[in-house]
Structure 1
Amino acid sequence: MRNTLTSVMASTLAGWRGTIAAKGTRQPPLMLQLYEYEACPFCRMVRQALTELDLDAVILPCPRGGTRFRPQAEQVGGRAQFPLLVDDNTNDVIYESRDIIDHLARTYGQGNGAKIAAPGMIGQIGASLASLTRGMAGMHAANRQGAAPPRELPELYSFESSPYARRVREVLCELEVPYVLRNAGKATKADMGPPWVRQTFFADAPVEGRNRQILFDETGRLQVPYLVDPNTETALFESADIEAYLRSTYG
């Protein structure tokens, strides 16, 4: 159930939400913290909004059976319910995907970003079907056999609807590896479609998007997922390679 085809189907069922990033949103001085797990449809909707608002966040994975961040989330918020957003910029601790998305759009959305709203019933159904299509990958904690968490947070360049980035996020969640989610949503028409489309037809188009510019400056490529792990001085493209690395390093 983890192949790329089902991941493409999952993105399609979710309406490809979490692809396009708004321009001109306000970046919070302190990093947002999101307790969530990949297979949760309500968490998915919050991650979609993070991409669309071009916001980064520290992801604290809380899969079922997890012992690393679930107790911490319950201590912070008072109950084991997800998603849970902690925004130290406004001293807010927020449950419920709709309330979280409204907070993000109201606080950080400017211009196009201000138009982002929580999905309605159709969006919720699509997000749920996406999880089912993936066989609920990213729901349960894996047996880590005593593996220690990373000392420094790895960084994952991703956008929510990317079928390849999803596979990596599922593994990070199941291994309960915290990370910085660097959202690199597409900010221009030249970026629509797979990377080869831009390389073939829009090679001279300017790079747009905050994290896409950083990604291009550092690697010369506009491709996700891209994982940077300061703990081992490792930087990897390609979902299969990243998955194998994560399992061997943190599994």
Structure 2
Amino acid sequence: MLIPNNDVGHLVKSTQAFVSLALRGGRGVMGTGQPMQPKKMLVLYEHEACPYSRRVREVMTRLNLDYESRPSPHKGHVYRDELEELTGKTQVPFMIDENFAEGEEGHQILDSQAIIDHLFTHYSKKGSTPPKFQREHKKDNASIVNKAASMASMMRGVRAVHPKKNEARGKPDEPLHLYGFEASPFCRLVRERLSELEVGYINHNVAREQIKDIGAFGFHLTLGEYQPIKGGKRDQLMNGELNGKLLFPYLVDPNTGAQMYESQDIISYLNDIYG
């Protein structure tokens, strides 16, 4: 992490993350309020700066699916060695879907387009991949624009920052829980640090489901009192584990009991506990 996590450094990183959002045209912002969440948690080996992993995460937000992220950055060992044992490669993204039996097609999937097709086939109401998410659509491959979106964040999250220390620390006893959505610049900063530290976590997608969900810093695009779509995922979370507050990123660490908002505070916490 070349830029320090002070006020000025955080502003610089946030600006870079906004550029990533702009380059991807806002993908990874909106999603369905009624996701078809599988019974068993999806597992994704990835790293934050990988443009192919980004394509998959954007679709996960579109479908509003939760998943377990196992960060596998370059030079890392905590999950990357495990990935190589499973596939014979260190290629990401790689997904495990335990809703399909071991050895059955769909249980293990390597390649971003194959993962995207699997997600739309089994976890969307339409049951097929929309044209703009197909590889043949030149605007959505891991194109120059997509790769530029990764470069805009100076490739943070692409490499393990302290591989030997991370490996010695090992995996947390329980994965952390991160609430947010793919395109949020502030969520991106937290995911980048989790990737660098090789800390596994459950990514709870809380995609925007309607126009008035758009906002920042606790304010929303509405003239009256903000209300999420009744019965939608945001509504359920706001009246459940989020205790009436839809502000992201929100981190829960069951290993320490920590619960916190604000990306800069979360990054400081991760540095103190896992750095």
So what's the TM-score if we normalise by structure 1?
0.92
Residue pairs, 1:2-21, within 5 angstroms: 3-21=13-31
CA contact (8 A) 2:212 2:226 kept: no
2:220 aligned with 1:203? no
**Is there any run of 5+ residues in structure 1 with no aligned partner, and where?**
none
1:203 Cα deviation from its structure 2 partner: 1.8
Rounded Cα–Cα distance in structure 2 between residues aligned with 1:170 and 1:211: 24
Cα deviation 1:161-210 (Å, max 9, x = unaligned):
00000000000000000000000000111111325542762424334541
1:227 Cα deviation from its structure 2 partner: 0.3
Task: Give secondary structure in 1 for the equivalent of 2:75.
Answer: coil
2:187 is aligned to 165
Which stretch of structure 1 is more off in the superposition, 16-25 or 93-102? 16-25
1:106 is aligned to 121
1:80 Cα deviation from its structure 2 partner: 1.4
1:190 is aligned to 212
Rounded Cα–Cα distance in structure 1 between residues aligned with 2:51 and 2:216: 25
1:63 is aligned to 73
* From 213, 223, 233, the counterpart of 2:236: 213
Larger radius of gyration: 2
Rounded Cα–Cα distance in structure 2 between residues aligned with 1:200 and 1:53: 24
Rounded Cα–Cα distance in structure 2 between residues aligned with 1:118 and 1:202: 39
Structure 1 runs of 4+ with >3 Å offset: 111-116, 206-209
So what's the TM-score if we normalise by structure 2?
0.85
1:219 Cα deviation from its structure 2 partner: 2.8
Task: Give secondary structure in 2 for the equivalent of 1:173.
Answer: helix
CA contact (8 A) 1:20 1:186 kept: yes
| Residues 118, 22 of structure 1: alpha-carbon distance in 2 compared, 3 angstrom cutoff | farther
Q: 2:30 corresponds to which letter in structure 1?
A: I
2:53 is aligned to 43
Rounded Cα–Cα distance in structure 1 between residues aligned with 2:156 and 2:239: 30
RMSD: 2.1
2:110 is aligned to 95
Rounded Cα–Cα distance in structure 1 between residues aligned with 2:15 and 2:239: 27
CA contact (8 A) 2:67 2:203 kept: yes
- How many residues are treated as equivalent by the alignment? 251
Rounded Cα–Cα distance in structure 2 between residues aligned with 1:171 and 1:229: 15
Residue pairs, 1:138-157, within 5 angstroms: 138-143=157-162, 145=165, 146-157=168-179
Task: Give secondary structure in 2 for the equivalent of 1:219.
Answer: coil
Q: Report the identity percentage.
A: 35
Cα deviation 1:4-52 (Å, max 9, x = unaligned):
1110011110111110012433211100000000000000010000000
